[in-house]
């Protein structure tokens, strides 16, 4: 028999947002058929339970933060000087709207992906046997608006580095999805009096410590549903080889949708 008091006592110890637990208690007090009620309760506490499990298992995690208006981020960043030259400078970065940080646990290994479907193409044209870490293509002979971009970052690149978005950003979705922490973001940039929207679907593996960034521009006909279809079709190759640590470590790196 379902014991309400034991249930409340157990899950009041779960570290979860207050409104989440309020919804759980509310469902406990609402008459429902037995199977539906218990299924709903399981769904309501699934996310906080996963957080506790992740902490206990020593899994890696991705965190999001939105800086205050006018706040600047201080740190070292790689700056492009043109002609393939870069410099590492101490910068105070303004205009940042969303910051991602990572708690990386365990050994980082090389990871590759293989797409099963890509928007704008009848058949996948990337037959590499091992897999890929980057794919990008677009309109106008691959120089115009970007139809699809997929980038993979292993844990050695994510560790101790804050990744950020410029312009205005809106988080559309943030949840545990399939094998990943999922984050859907719309980024709006303004240049020369024109606004440009970019769509991003980010997938972070807590078990294998890699981040997939799947992106596209609505100006090229790409929608968020297309990015989700790409994500669902991907196969992931987690190798036994350790990932090579980045030689030039920086405190910040930009997640953007651009050629080059």
Q: How far, in Å, are 15, 51, 53, 207 from residue 58 at the CA level?
A: 16, 11, 9, 9
Say if residue 115 is exposed, middle or buried (CB neighbours under 10 Å; 0-12, 13-18, 19+): buried
SS3 state of residue 110 = strand
- The SS3 call for residue 80 is strand
pLDDT of residue 170: 96
**Two tokens at 102?**
């990572």
Domain boundaries, given as residue ranges, for the chain = 4-57, 61-254
Q: Write down the pLDDT at residue 127.
A: 83
Mean pLDDT by 10 residues, the chain (260 residues): 41 41 42 35 41 59 93 83 80 91 95 94 82 92 88 94 94 96 96 89 97 97 97 96 81 87
Give the integer Cα–Cα distance in Å for 186 and 218: 10
pLDDT at position 247 is: 66
The per-residue pLDDT for 43 is 35
DSSP three-state, residue 158: helix
**Model pLDDT, residue 250:** 84
């Amino acid at each position: 028999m379902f014991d309400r008091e034991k249930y409340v006592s157990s899950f009041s110890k779960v570290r979860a947002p207050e409104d989440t637990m309020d919804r759980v208690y509310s469902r406990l007090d609402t008459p429902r058929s037995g199977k539906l009620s218990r299924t709903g309760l399981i769904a309501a506490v699934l996310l906080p339970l996963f957080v506790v499990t992740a902490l206990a298992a020593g899994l890696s995690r991705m965190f999001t933060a939105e800086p205050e208006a006018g706040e600047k981020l201080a740190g070292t960043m790689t700056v492009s000087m043109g002609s393939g030259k870069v410099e590492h400078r101490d910068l105070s970065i303004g205009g940042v709207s969303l910051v991602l940080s990572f708690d990386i646990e365990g050994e980082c290994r090389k990871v590759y992906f293989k797409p099963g479907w890509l928007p704008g193409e009848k058949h996948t044209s990337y037959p590499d046997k091992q897999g890929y870490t980057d794919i990008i293509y677009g309109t106008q002979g691959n120089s115009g608006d970007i139809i699809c971009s997929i980038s993979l970052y292993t844990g050695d690149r994510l560790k101790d580095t804050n990744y950020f978005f410029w312009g205005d950003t809106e988080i559309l979705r943030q949840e545990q999805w399939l094998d990943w922490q999922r984050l859907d973001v719309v980024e709006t940039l303004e240049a020369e009096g024109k606004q440009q929207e970019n769509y991003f679907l980010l997938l972070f593996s807590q078990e294998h410590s890699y981040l997939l960034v799947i992106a596209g521009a609505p100006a090229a006909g790409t929608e968020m549903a297309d990015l989700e279809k790409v994500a669902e079709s991907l196969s992931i190759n987690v190798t036994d080889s350790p990932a090579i640590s980045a030689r030039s470590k920086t405190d910040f790196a930009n997640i953007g949708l651009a050629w080059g």
